[in-house]
Amino acid sequence: MTEPSKLSLPSLKAMFKLRAKLVEELSVYEDNRVDDVTDIVDAVFDVLPDQVPYDVVVDSLRHLISHTLTKELISNVSHRIAGNIRRLKAGRSAPPWVCQRFGEWVPVQILAAQRRNMRSRKGGDKVGAELTLKIMTGTCCPLIITKWRSLRWLFHFSTKMGFSKRSQTGRANQFPYLVPEQYTSLRMAVWLDPQLSRELPGFRTVDVPASLRVWNKSVLKKRARIDFTCMENYPTTVPCHRCWRGYESCPVATHRRDFVEGKCPRCSKTDQLLDLDQGGVCQLCIRQINDEEAT
């Protein structure tokens, strides 16, 4: 493993602002086939800071030749350019990720935290959750990767993420950590290690700098109904991870898509809340499937 360097992250607020400008500039080319990259390079170059050399932008976008600029591709290219502005200013290109040539700190946002059990090497089940992570900046952004973490790790790391420490006096905590799903939408920094990045970026070292903890706290405050009105008007005794809404319709939800009511295709029970991100089955069947996969 490579030794992590001092943790330093670019401003995500500035990155999102630049990404939005790039998407706007490139949207006029949507659904067009790129036979000559010059117009695309010119559009991107005009938005970037003066310190970025023109030939570096050419090298970063050369791969678009012969591709059709779909909405998704425009979003990904804009994110990659905006997420590598430090690198571009230094005169180094930012092409699509192929391999991790060096170690680097990158911020990630947790898109999902789904319970998954694993079979340990010594036999027996290891209970935990699979985290789906979107890399926000760095040479491999905006790739999406996954990482399994045990329930024990998630519990012990929760205070660093911004959750309240468990009270020793029995007092109610303001931001209690209860279940893995609460990690959804939170952010942390990971050290991408070339030795752990064979097919996809990999990491072992994790940290949460103050800038990312501020974001996490803002999400947790809303989930605690602090300066935020629940869209379902649930009382504070009903935590967000028990709600049917996903973050497609609620900004503080703990899963992606809204659950739908219907008949579970696995157990055939009717009037169940079905999770479309996990096979469209009910919550009980999801737990049973996880238990079966671990054996």
Q: Give the pLDDT score at 276.
A: 85
- Distance, in Å, from the CA atom of 220 to the CA atom of 226, rounded to the nearest integer, reads 9
For 6, 139, 190, the CA distances from 194, given in Å and listed in that order, are: 17, 12, 13
Decide: helix, strand or coil at residue 118. strand
Q: Give the pLDDT score at 232.
A: 94
- 125-135: strand order across its sheet: 144-150, 125-135, 104-119, 187-192, 203-207
Q: Give the pLDDT score at 171.
A: 63
Number of other CB atoms surrounding residue 294 within 10 Å: 16
Tell me the whole-structure pTM to 2 decimals: 0.91
Q: Give the pLDDT score at 170.
A: 55
Q: Give the pLDDT score at 291.
A: 65
- The answer to whether the CB of 204 falls within 8 A of the CB of 1 is yes
213-244 confidence digits (pLDDT tens): 999 999 999 999 999 999 999 998 899 999 99
Residues of the chain below pLDDT 70: 121-124, 167-172, 291-295
Q: Give the pLDDT score at 169.
A: 63
